[in-house]
Structures are given as C-alpha cells and as structure tokens.
Amino acid sequence: MKTRFWGVVLSICLIGGIPALALGEYPEREINIYCGSSAGGVTDLGIRLLAETVSKAFGQPVVVSNKPGASHTLCANLVANAKPDGYTLGALAGSAFTQVPNMRKVPYDTKKDFSWVASYTDYTSGLVVRNDAPWKTLEEFLDYSKKNPGKMIYGSDGFGLGTHILMEYLAVKKGGIDWKHVPIPGGPKLAAALLGGHIQAWSAAGTHVKFIKEGKIRLLVSFNSTRLKYSPDIPTLTEAGYQLELGTPLVIIGPKDLPAPVVKKLEGAFLTAMKEPSYLQFLDRVDFVQLFRGSEDLAKAIELQSKGWGELIQMTGIKPGK
C-alpha cells in the first residue's frame, strides 16, 4: 500500500512539472572540481577554500584536482565532456570562454557546452618586474623594449589569456614592440622564472601580490580599474593613458544540461560560501575584488566580455603561436 501511495505522489510531481531529481538528496556522493590553474596559485587557493565550506554545507566531500594547461581550455574541455549529474565541475579563468576562442579553435562550444554556476572573484592583474630591474615606470619599460627589439622576454599564464592580450595591446599602442612571449601555466612557476632571471617581466594575474608584499618584485602598472592596495602609488592602465578596462572572472561551471535544481543548489551553496569571513579575508590578503555573480548574471557577463575581448584581439592582430 505504501509503495502504491508513493508511486502516486511521484506521478503527481512529474505531471506538475517538478523534476524527479528535486526529490533526491543531491549531492549523495563526492563532488569533483577540476581547477584550470596549477597548485598554489590564487585560482587554486580560492576554489579550495570555497570547496571546504561547500563540503561542510552539503555533508559530502568536494575534491579539487588541478588540470592546468592550454590556457585553461584543457580544464574546460574536461568539464564539457563530463556527465551532467552535478558531480563534475570546473573552476577556471573566464578567459577560456571570452578570450582564447576569439583567436583559435577550441574543442568546445562556449555557448552550448556549459552550465554556468557562479563567479567567485575577478583576477587582480598587472605588469611586474624584479625589484632590482632598471625600469621604475611602465613608460620606461616600454621605451626600453621598443629600442631593443627582440631582447625583452615576458611571461604570462598562457597564450590567449588576458595578461597575454594586454601585453600585445601595449606593444601595438606603443607603435610596435618586438618582444618574446613565454607562456608558463601557474603563478608560482612564473614567479620562479622571473626571480631566476629566465624572463625579464611577468604579465601577472594574482600570485604576484604575494611577491610584491615580500618586496621581491615591483609593479609597473595595474591592469584593473583600481590601484593595487599593496602598490598604491602605481597607476592603472587608464591612469597611464591607455583607455581600456576588461575583466577576467574566475568561474565555476558544469557541463551542459545540468538539471536546474542542481544548478540552483550549487549556485546557492557557492554564493553563500563567498560571504564567509575566511573567504573575504583571503580576497583581502591577495587583493582580489569581491565580485560574485550567480548563474544568470555570469552567463550575461561571459557573452559581453567575449565581444569586448574579441574586438581587442582583432586590434592587436594576435595569431596562434605569437
């Protein structure tokens, strides 16, 4: 009799438009999050902190695995091909959807292959050099680079990411600079390359703040709309005379066709975790902004930023392999 009763209830729910999944207890097991950055970077540290809070809220493990490479598109592709059950997510730079696809073919469709969950901050980025470098300002650095074609070597997290695009933008705006770009996935590796003298400049996103605070590197310009808290005397790109403001959010995604109740539960859990004092203190420590978006707002932001970065890429003329 009880079996028959619950069968009737389920039928009513389905007829009424309530997904059967909503009756379950998602999540019922471990959730895996692929991180597009290497271990120890701000992208990695931030999502691990959030995952810990969400794990406690769900009562299930939330495990982060690093999958760096190919300017975060490797991570994005892993998520695109995952089962849409809510147990495989991705945490990576929005550039995998707004920047890289505007300059080369990627193995996924940004508009069709993902479910947007939330964004958990926006990269703090800028151009840095070693503290003993001869350049004290952006213009000194650009002047030297233009007068010494082929000699300047700078690094970034990857080809096609915002930090790479912005450097090529500066090269064009300066009247044409011939320098070499070396993509090195992960802030800690980039810092080691700069401090070890393997590159002369680092177009950085996040991890550089730690080394600025330690006095090991010097910021020449902030790529954000505001000055860096730990380098308050250093101007933004706009203040330096380059009228440009485009962000790169850190996003949480799932594969396409994630059931709406799952997206809603994940969105709520992560947005709540972002308000925890421990996470807010983390953002303050690394000088990252409190820029939190839910599923719908993130989808709109990705579309708008894709258009903006696409226009900038066309202007710079970046081609694969540059």
pTM for this model (two decimals)? 0.80
Q: Percentage of the chain with pLDDT > 70?
A: 91
Q: Which residues contact 4 (CB under 8 A, 6 or more apart)?
A: none
| Structure tokens that stand for 184 in this block | 């090195």
Task: Name the H helices within the chain.
Answer: 2-15, 42-58, 73-80, 95-98, 138-147, 162-173, 187-195, 208-213, 260-273, 277-286, 295-316
Mean pLDDT of the chain: 90
Q: Which tens digits make up the pLDDT trace of 119-133?
A: 999 988 999 999 999
| Structure tokens that stand for 224 in this block | 């954000």
- For residue 34, what pLDDT is reported? 98
- CA–CA distance, 112 with 119 (Å, rounded to integer): 18
- CA–CA distance, 149 with 132 (Å, rounded to integer): 22
Tell me where in the chain the CATH 3.40.190.150 domain(s) lie: 29-122+247-316
- For residue 94, what pLDDT is reported? 94
- For residue 244, what pLDDT is reported? 77
Phi, psi (deg, nearest 5) at residue 242 = -110, 100
| Structure tokens that stand for 274 in this block | 């972002």
Q: Which tens digits make up the pLDDT trace of 123-179?
A: 889 999 999 999 999 999 999 999 999 999 999 988 888 899 999 999 999 999 999
Report the CATH number of the 29-122+247-316 domain.
3.40.190.150
> Is residue 8's pLDDT more than 90?
no
Tell me where in the chain the CATH 3.40.190.10 domain(s) lie: 125-222
* Fold (topology level) of 125-222: D-Maltodextrin-Binding Protein; domain 2 (3.40.190)
Q: Which tens digits make up the pLDDT trace of 14-43?
A: 444 334 344 368 999 999 999 999 898 888
- CA–CA distance, 318 with 320 (Å, rounded to integer): 7
Tell me the DSSP string of 131-148.
Answer: TT-S--SHHHHHHHHHHS
Spell out a b/e string for 194-229, using b for 16 or more CB atoms within 10 Å of the CB, else e: beeeebbbbbbbbbbbbbbeeebbbbbbbbbeebbe
> Which of the four pLDDT bands, split at 50, 70 and 90, describes residue 321?
low
| Structure tokens that stand for 192 in this block | 């080691």
Burial class (CB in 10 A: 0-12, 13-18, 19+), 4: exposed
